[in-house]
Amino acid sequence: MKATRLRAAGLAVALLGALIAGTPASAAESDTTTDTSTSCVTNPATPKRQFRAMWIASVTNIDWPSKASQTAPDQVAKQKAEYLGWLDLAQKLNHNAVVVQVRPTADAFWPSPYEPWSEYVTGVRGQDPGWDPLAFLVEESHKRNLEFHAWFNPYRVSMPAPSGAGADISKLAPDAPARQHPDWVFAYPPAGVAGSRLYYNPGIPEVREFVQTAMMDAVNRYDIDGVHFDDYFYPYPSGTYQVPDDATFAEYNRGFTNKADWRRDNINLLIQEMNAKIKAAKPWVKFGVSPFGIWRNKSVDPLGSDTTGSQSYDIISADTRKWIKEEWIDYVVPQLYWYIGQYPAADYARLVPWWAEQVRGTSVQLYIGQADYKSGEPAYGSYWMNPYELSNHLTLNRSYPEVLGNVHFSAVQVRANRLGATDIYAAEHYSRPALIPAMPHLPSQPLLAPVVTASERDADGVRLSWRQPADGEGPLGTATSYAIYRFDGAGIAEACDFADAAHLVATVRGTADDVQSWVDTTVAAGRPYTYYVTALDRLANESPVSPPHFVH
């Protein structure tokens, strides 16, 4: 966004306005949903800051693009329209981010110099679709002021036959790196066994370096807000089959004598190195992982959770607790895809406090992965036939201040709204907009308060116009978006009026224009209002509030 500034008298007015509006400004500067120092009484149903998103999966065309779009007369137009539909849904639900899978099987949703075009765009592995989906995804998401988190799968190379290439390297795209380096991959389960597929071998240093380079290409070239990994590292166990990496361990053991510890260290290195590369290139880009919901059980490790289910530490070599404690990630989204109730293997009500304890005292933010796909599906049991189950999850989360948001799996399930469950949790928990949680450990610069310069009533509502003083100049940060607060009547707001989202009516993306504007279409004709505007940088750090602007 182009830096804008007010000259001479305009800048003086802006600075004076910020000073005379001291009371609400102090609220905007100090208060977030995680700030326990504030004495303000807030409504837990309308938090000022909360991460809200849904996963938009591309693998096997789960969410986007649809399988049908591949054969549409105008494939590109169809796929663009489908994606805009998902953004419409996100806005309707007051979400503020999307998590979109752009590298599902060692491929790419952008013109990558390292990996082939994804088959899930055109239906043909390696086929150029004739456009740049990732550029479109990022641009359109930002127009709606939604953060864009690019979801990558680090090591999966293929999906099972017959729809995927399975274990057959010759069925990969002609330019697939695995075809040039067959020693980089293994089949698991073994070729010829149902469900067999190809994986990059995490134990080979060149592989780890290559997958990081392939993913960093997207980080370097696109204006993404986050890098997101799911829970696939080493393969989930299948029967009694063993991962075929004895020779790799013998060659690259780095002094480890225990293969399980070595495998975990391979994944630790992936996480640690990827984070370092992201921050070296773009310090503002967040790095998050959505691991399987159980790290270890307490019966095996006293540091584990009161559960008896599968343990990611052991079965897929993912030491997620270490990643948090070492602060190698910025956020974690454990997939807590279980109900609240007497379920010893994995009770949601037992796992949320465990994860809250793990992030406590660290810079890592905790969001919870929600199983919208189970809601209203009889196969998952009677608990999931309760239309309030998901909403009850979000209510329980309020008891743990470390829980700063939710990500819903997946978009088609959110839209399905079985039992009306999506409508219920949206009404009870997402009724107002919310700002993205700030990340104080990432670098930032102070922002000046915006100055509202004009307002106009017309048939559509009230159009506000404002300027951002000295935007990005000198020691000041750059405004990426703006938050608009509205109060009934004419008067000066108190500090605590900005502590939750009760008066937050919208967040909007900044433009390159000197004058920003927005239309409030929800006003009542002839009714007086008071507006305040704040600026937010790309990490959602908020400026002091503008001087009040009265509309009669």
- Give the model confidence (pLDDT) of 180-218 as tens digits: 999 999 999 999 999 999 999 999 999 999 999 999 999
Structure confidence at residue 342 as a pLDDT band (50, 70, 90): confident
Taking a C-beta distance cutoff of 8 angstroms, is the pair 290, 231 a contact? yes
Residue 517: phi and psi, rounded to 5, are -150, 160
Taking a C-beta distance cutoff of 8 angstroms, is the pair 97, 408 a contact? no
pLDDT at residue number 277 = 98
pLDDT at residue number 35 = 40
pLDDT at residue number 173 = 98
Compute the distance between CA of residue 336 and CA of residue 394 in angstroms, rounded to an integer.
Answer: 12
Over range 260-279, report the average pLDDT. 98
Over range 254-266, report the average pLDDT. 98
Residue 36: phi and psi, rounded to 5, are -85, -5
Taking a C-beta distance cutoff of 8 angstroms, is the pair 421, 387 a contact? yes
pLDDT at residue number 9 = 34
Structure confidence at residue 134 as a pLDDT band (50, 70, 90): very high
- How much of the chain exceeds pLDDT 90, in percent? 92
pLDDT at residue number 47 = 98
Query: What domains sit in the chain, N to C, each tagged with a CATH number?
Result: 51-156+205-430 (3.20.20.80), 451-551 (2.60.40.10)
DSSP H/E element including 185: strand 185-188
If you ran DSSP here, which 8-state letter would residue 515 be given? S
Q: Hunting for tokens 């000198």 — which residue is that?
A: 474
User: Angle, nearest 10°, between helix axes 348-359 and 389-397?
Assistant: 30
Compute the distance between CA of residue 337 and CA of residue 347 in angstroms, rounded to an integer.
Answer: 9
Indicate whether 24 pLDDT > 50: no
pTM, two decimal places: 0.94
Compute the distance between CA of residue 482 and CA of residue 378 in angstroms, rounded to an integer.
Answer: 43
User: Angle, nearest 10°, between helix axes 421-429 and 389-397?
Assistant: 20
- Give the model confidence (pLDDT) of 75-103 as tens digits: 999 999 999 999 999 999 999 999 999 99
Of the candidates 309, 281, 283, the one whose C-alpha atom is nearest the C-alpha of residue 296 is: 309
pLDDT at residue number 290 = 98
Structure confidence at residue 39 as a pLDDT band (50, 70, 90): confident
CA distances from 258 to 314, 322, 518 (A): 13, 18, 60
Residue 190: phi and psi, rounded to 5, are -60, 155
pLDDT at residue number 3 = 35
pLDDT at residue number 470 = 96
3-state secondary structure of 486: strand
Over range 454-481, report the average pLDDT. 96
Structure confidence at residue 357 as a pLDDT band (50, 70, 90): very high
Over range 356-361, report the average pLDDT. 98
Over range 437-452, report the average pLDDT. 98
Structure confidence at residue 38 as a pLDDT band (50, 70, 90): low
Higher local confidence (pLDDT), 1 or 67: 67
Over range 15-26, report the average pLDDT. 37
> Across the chain, what does the average pLDDT equal?
93
